Amino acid sequence: MLSDDVNRYISLRRVLGYKLVKVERSLRAFAFFAIGRGDTHIRAASVLAWLETVACTPGARARRLTDLILFARFLHAEDSHHEIPQADATRSQQKRPVPYIYTPDEIARILDTAGKVRRHKSDLLRRPLYVMLFGLIAAAGLRVSEALTLRFDDIQPGGVLHIRETKFRKSRLVPLHATVIAVLEHYLRLRRRCAGESEWLFPSIQDKQLCPTTVNYAFRSVLRRAGIAPERSRQPRVHDLRHTFATRVLEQCGVERGTVARHFVALSTYLGHSDIRNTYWYLEATPQMMADIAAAAEMLVGESVA
């Protein structure tokens, strides 16, 4: 049965460190659909028919197709009766969206505006919570999900964050700058007075884990009030604070190859990337980086002439 095949496939890949929460839901939905059509093996026609029933963006549909292709290859290695769907011809034309790189002034405006968000009279923590949350993501390059799952016990002595089992079930230690530690300590004192019963560093009004949807809504509201990129059709995201952190760090590499290599390895580890190639994507075309690239090119030309 295809449903049993999904169980085997997901279990095996989780042993390798993958979480696959969304992938599991997607594959189970396809298996239910295919079984309803009387399929005992993966059929390319059933894959295409199922994708037509899925209400999502073209990018999400392409990701679901990729997941099904990997699943089909896994089963085809055992039983050649399983068909491997062809990759969508339009998928290769889709590009990963370029993140919005905030300026230092824009980040300051975000934090200033977050400190003025509307709150209930009894909710004294809401303003400092969002200032600390957005500031921590910007200053440490955390994923939003990593920040929201932080507990008090995850704050180690010396201002080191213990990020537990994030992508690929990896944990890591994230040291904070002294200025961030000072702000965090001030927030912790207020946090203990206002929501002492909750274990979460950034609790909801009900003292539960703060929902990402709530955070995204609050961030969009802050951007609108701060007047940041109002002309853009695609509004900047809170996750772009992480991209900004990585990009600004790489800007400090300069043009010396050894320095660049050390920065890349350190940054990849700090961000929790499983592959350093994921860090290369942060080489955004900021003016500073373009200047460094030009300087490096001039040095290279000069060496060849000499």
Which residues are known to be catalytic? 143, 167, 239, 242, 273, 282
* CA gyration radius, the chain: 23
| Pairwise CA distance, residues 227 & 212, whole Å | 22
DSSP state of 41: S
Output the DSSP codes for 183-217: HHHHHHHHHHHH-TT--BSSB-TTSSBPPHHHHHH
Among positive and negative, which fits the CA dihedral 171, 177, 178, 181? negative
The SS3 call for residue 173 is strand
| Pairwise CA distance, residues 80 & 126, whole Å | 57
| Pairwise CA distance, residues 279 & 287, whole Å | 19
Sheet holding 155-156: strands in order across?
155-156, 160-163, 172-175
The amino acid at residue 172 is R
